[in-house]
Amino acid sequence: MKFKLTCNSCEHVMDLEGTIHVDRFKCVKCGADIELREGRMEEGVRIAGKYQTLYKTNDDGYSSTYICKDLNNDDLKLLRIYDKTLTNLISNPKEFIELVGAVSFMAGENHMLIIDTGLSDKYLYQVMPFRKLESIEQLVDYGYIWASDQALDLIYELVKSLEEGVKNISNGHFNLNPNNIFISSKGKVRYQGFGVAPQLMSEKSFAKSEVHFFDVYYLSPELARGKDYPTQASDIYSLGMILYYMIVGTTPCVSSDGEGVDYNNLVFPQSVETELDQGFLKIFKSITENDPENRPQSFKEFRQQLEIYFSAKNHQNLNQMEGEKTDLYKKDLYNKKVINLLNPLGDFKSKNLNAPMSANTVRRRMATQTALDIPIDLSEKLNDKKRVKRRRIKAHVSPTKIERVNGRVQNQASEKSREPLFIGMFIVLAISLTYLVFTNMPEEKQVAPLIVENEKKLVIEENQNEELDEIINSSKKQPEFTLNKKFYLIEIRKAEPDFVKLDKQLLQDLGQANQKQKVELKKIAKEINKAKLAEQRRIIINLKSEVGTAVFNREYNEALEIYTNYEGPFAQETLKIREELLIELKNKIKQKELIDKHKQDLAKSLIEVDLREKLNVIVENLFAKEHKLASAGMKELLPLHDSVDLLSFSKLVEKSSIETINTEIITTLATQDNVQISVNFNGSDFNASIISCDLDNLTVEVNLNHSKGVIKKTYSIEELKGEELQKWIAYGDDESTKAFLTTIFYVYRDDLISADKSLESYRKSYGDILSLELKDRLVNLANEEMERLFEMYDYPYLSKETKSLVSDDLIAFSHQLRQLFKLYSKRVDFKGGNDYYVSLLNQFNELTETGVSEGVFINNSHSNLYFNKQLSEKYNTVRVLPGDYVGDLKIEGRKVNLIGTKNVTIKGNLIVASSNVQIKNIILIGRVLIYDKGSDVNITNCMIKGPLISRKEGDNINIFNSILSGISGAKNKNIYVKNSILKKPVYDLRYVINGNADYEFENCIIYSSDALIQFNRESKKGDYKNCLLYAPGSISAGHKGATYSLEEADGKVGNFYKCILAKPKFKKASKGDFTLLELSAGYLKGSDKKSIGVRMNEDLDLR
């Protein structure tokens, strides 16, 4: 952004471009220092494309006001532009400035109307009608003070306007000070800023910032100390401080050290107080009370006080002085830029303007944007000693008093008619006039010293006419030596006195002065010494300012050199304090460096935390087999973090899709010669050599070395074993790349144990994230499997309670628990602690019956070929672990024990083709077929959904505590059934009991919706002891359709001993409970005095 910078000393205009990051800039013409402020607008800038700044008229420390040209119609306007640093602290700048604009229409007739607002390049701005305005601060700075009545007239105008504003808006101004109160060229009082302070006080960013908006010397004590939210009494106190400033010409309540605020240091100078009447002092005291409760509580109350005072004095209110009172509108720059653009028709007319929003809307928005209490941060901000730099400690030597002279006051420095004098008096008159000119010159602006001691100010109190007479008379006497006190006075009060010149002149004067004059010179010497101290303090303040800028820019070495390398005036005198400041600065720099390092470490830590959090999500997706999500996350992450490690990791992620890994494996196999791998064929493992590879279908063709010869077979990559393929992953790459891709390969195959083993070889970045995620999944998987195992056996999980299991279930449970614990215990900690499972396994070992063979354990991952192979071995015990098994099983081995456990289901037929066979604890969805040589077969605790069919040579078949759907035995075969349930067949057989075997039933329930027993001429009589029989019709069906009732069948069809003919009533057959109810026939009627039928445990297993 281009802008113009004007030197106030020589009015030279410089064109600058860009942003200047310094607080001072040297004029290229005169070399004077031009103070700059970060974020402040300068002249010559176009705002919002429609306003061009021309000439600065005011600066209050946080905003600048310019005369500007409206580019739409070339009219002149006043343009107030807030510093960018202030804009950055406002949460909603646009709403902020809109509200300020709306408030200006409701803050009384003296408030400056805002006709346009906006936000341009982070600069908030407001546009007002053009008027020639001069602030109270500018007027006092130029040498004006007010007579008490004229000052009260100004305050009275403000009070009326503020009263109307509070009535409309229900909020106060809260930042009234000499910089925002103006007098126009027509003598009208104007002010601005209503609605700004309440909004800023609610901004947390502003409260915590170093930007200072409030002038604490004009703030009420309760607001400055942050005790309560301000009221009208707070603004009334500010008016009292402004009143003091206008009458005295110095800043009120300045502490003795010149830096802080002392609310008890509010005393009128004696020369001023003598001119004030008691009525004025009473009003002034009431509005400047430190306790807000003792002040007028409203503008209305204060206005009425003023009106009573005016009435008592018969005082009539008049306008303020008219015309241009300072040189603000007389400078060449103003004449050059503005004078030709002035509207000859007069000032802006505002009668047709309307407020942009209603008073209700303004009140509502002000209420929602301002807090009920002052934030702590704002309270601390207002009490910060660095908050204000504007203060005037000494008044002008001969101020121009603004008095009631037809509402118009002329500057005493204005032109006066001067009549010619006698030629003989020309020289004397010239001396007199020169004296008068120096006496009435506006005082040069002073730099506030660090400490202001209580002392009489060096002011000339003699009447100017008497002074003139004295000078004329003394000139006639022509004494030998005249003490020129005026020289010392003027030189001392300069911004930068020439102390070499002063000391030289003092030494010279002491050599010529008489005794009385030497006394005066001693006083002057004291004043010179005080000025020297003040100059030393000014030097220290300037050095501090330079150091502060350097520290702010983190130029720490340069900051130290400012103190150590200073060689200007009073270098020796300020050495000690500079050394002390140097020590303090070093400590401050050390602290700042520690804080900066902490911030950097914290920022780096936060970035690292953010990176790792996002990487955690990516790794989670990888292990969840969501490669596309992981890859997409990696692509989003890479541009945000410039890291070699991250780039390397992203390449691994890209290569880790299962399609890419499988393709690489097949491609590598295709390039190798004489590759031998192990494959599974018909349930057995065989060595095979790879013949060819299909990259499209990801298959390999192998020659299988079988006992019957070489077999050619094709396998998909999923059918091949992982441990055979992993060696070809990332073939030729480094160990970490191979480890990473192998880990993902095993994850896709649901083999987390192998994945964890592979990851142990990974040495690249983010291995801890991979390891933690995989470990979490292993822990979850291990505990899920453990909990599922306990649930399968209905055993209490993680409980001190124990449960009794029958031997077969205990052996199976103990085996599975041991295998699961062995698989995971070295890698994870189980819930409840690993010691719990060790203790449980020891208990199971003690409970297992001695001499019982564990045998071979079969689970549902084994193929039927492997299963049948085990059943063909002699003297073999095959224990079937929980699960579903699909397919027929054939027992061919002699003395084979097929023992199931809880939840074992075989979906197929069970074929017995050998002798001495035991079948236990099986749920069979199919038939039991006992073929030739199938003798001495014992079936216990089995649920058989189909029939049991024994062929010709099958003999000695014993069935205990089982449920089956029909039975058929060949001739001359012995079949004994005890404590079992026989139901109507679903298929193969018509009746429950069929064939010509020698049957013996004891404690059995036999029921059907049809006849129970098939009986013909070849059938043998069966023995039925303590059985419960039920059929809705006949018990038996005989040859040629003959039927028999129980009475008829007894002795003819079979021998029925203590049998009952009734329908059984089970406890809950639909839920698998086939035990008899207490009210059922057959309850406790068995031969063993127990109920007829099966025995079931509490888990409803046949046991």
Confidence of residue 385 (pLDDT cuts 50, 70, 90): very low
Query: What is the 8-class DSSP label of residue 766?
Result: T
Contact 106, 362 (CB under 8 A): yes
Position 1024 confidence tier, pLDDT thresholds 50, 70, 90 = very high
- Least Cα distance to 1015 among 1029, 996, 1034, 1033 occurs for 996
> How many whole angstroms separate alpha carbon 159 and alpha carbon 167?
12
Average pLDDT, whole number, for the chain?
A: 83
Categorize the per-residue pLDDT at 423 as very low, low, confident or very high, splitting at 50, 70 and 90.
very low
Query: What is the per-residue pLDDT for 479?
Result: 53
Sequence-distant (≥ 6) Cβ neighbours of residue 895 within 8 angstroms: 874, 875, 876, 915, 916, 917
In this prediction, residues 666-687 reach a mean pLDDT of 87
- What per-residue confidence (pLDDT) applies to 234? 94
* Spatial contact of 945 and 963, defined as CB atoms under 8 Å apart: no
pLDDT at 460: 30
CB atoms within 10 A of CB 444: 11
154 pLDDT more than 60: yes
Task: Name the band, by pLDDT with cuts 50, 70 and 90, for residue 784.
Answer: very high
B/e letters for 325-341, b = 16+ CB within 10 Å, e = fewer, are bbebbebebbeebbeee
- Closest Cα partner for 811 from 735, 877, 874, 752? 877
Domains and CATH numbers, the chain: 37-382 (1.10.510.10), 415-548 (no CATH), 611-760 (no CATH), 927-1076 (no CATH)
Q: Are strands 709-716 and 856-858 parallel, antiparallel or unpaired?
A: unpaired
Residue 272, token pair as written in the block: 């001023």
pLDDT interval class at 706 (50, 70, 90): confident
- What are the E-state strand segments in 140-222? 144-146, 181-184, 189-191
**pLDDT over 90 percentage in the chain:** 47
Residue 464 has a pLDDT of 40
Q: Does the pLDDT of residue 466 top 70, yes or no?
A: no
What is each CA distance from 218 to 175, 245, 388, 678, 913, in whole angstroms? 8, 10, 11, 94, 113
**Position 383 pLDDT exceeds 70:** no
Say if residues 339 and 73 touch (Cβ distance below 8 Å): no
Please give the Cα distance from 946 to 964 (Å, whole number): 6
Average pLDDT of span 372-393: 53
Contact 446, 493 (CB under 8 A): yes
The answer to whether 573 touches 536, Cβ cutoff 8 Å, is yes
pLDDT digits (tens, 9 = 90+) for 734-774: 999 999 999 999 999 999 999 999 999 998 989 999 999 99
Highest mean pLDDT among 260-264, 276-280, 540-544 belongs to: 276-280
Q: What mean pLDDT is predicted for residues 423-433?
A: 40
Q: What is the pLDDT of residue 1060?
A: 94
Q: Measure the CA–CA gap between 301 and 288, rounded to whole angstroms.
A: 15
Average pLDDT over every residue of 628-638: 90
* pLDDT band (50, 70, 90) for residue 1036: confident
- Tens of pLDDT, residue by residue over 574-614, are 999 999 999 989 988 888 888 777 777 676 666 667 888 88
Q: Which of 144, 187, 180 is CA-nearest to residue 162?
A: 180
pLDDT at 542: 83
- Give the end-to-end CA distance of the chain in Å, rounded to a whole number: 94
Provide CB contacts within 8 A for 143, sequence distance 6+: 396, 398, 399, 400, 442, 443
Kindly state the average pLDDT of the residues 115-122: 93
pLDDT at 700: 92
CA distance 117 to 122: 13
Residue 474 in this model has a pLDDT that exceeds 50? no
How high is the pLDDT of residue 227?
A: 64
971-to-55, 930, 951, 954, 968 alpha-carbon distances in Å? 129, 14, 9, 9, 10
Predicted confidence at residue 425, as pLDDT, reads: 40
958 neighbors 920 (Cβ within 8 angstroms)? no
pLDDT at 797 over 50: yes
How confident is the model over 347-352, as a mean pLDDT?
A: 49
- Which amino acid, 675? V
3-state secondary structure 1049-1084: HECCCEEEECCEECCCCEEEHHHCEEEECCCCCCCC
Count, in order, helices (H) and strands (E) of the chain.
32, 49
Chain mean position to CA 974: 83
Asked whether residue 417 carries a pLDDT value surpassing 50, the answer given is no
Return the structure tokens found at 1001.
Answer: 């039933």
Q: Give the CA-trace dihedral at 219, 223, 226, 229, to 10 degrees.
A: -160
DSSP string, 158-174: HHHHHHHHHHHHS----
Give, in order, the Cα–Cα distances in Å from 118 to each of 47, 51, 61, 101, 1056: 9, 11, 20, 10, 110
Q: Decide if pLDDT at 429 tops 60.
A: no
pLDDT at 379: 56
pLDDT for position 824: 92
Q: What does the alpha-carbon distance between residue 27 and residue 549 come to, in Å, rounded to a whole number? A: 20
Higher pLDDT, 42 or 374: 42
Q: What is the mean pLDDT of residues 641-649?
A: 88
Contacts of residue 379, defined as CB under 8 A and 6 or more positions apart, other chains included, come to 225, 226
> Which pLDDT score is estimated for 344?
52
Segment 979-994 shows an average pLDDT of 93
Per the structure block, which two tokens stand in for 750?
């649901």
Mean pLDDT lowest among 175-179, 318-322, 981-985, 1005-1009:
318-322
pLDDT for position 496: 78
Task: Tell me if the pTM is above 0.75.
Answer: no
How do residues 269-310 score in pLDDT, each as one tens digit?
988 999 999 999 999 999 999 999 999 999 999 999 999 999
**CA separation, residue 492 to residues 319, 486, 525, 531 (Å):** 38, 10, 11, 7
Residues in the chain: 1103
Which one, of 107, 100, 220, 243, lies nearest residue 162 by Cα?
107
If pLDDT is split at 50, 70 and 90, which confidence band does 16 have? low
Per the model's pLDDT, the better-predicted residue between 652 and 1047 turns out to be: 652
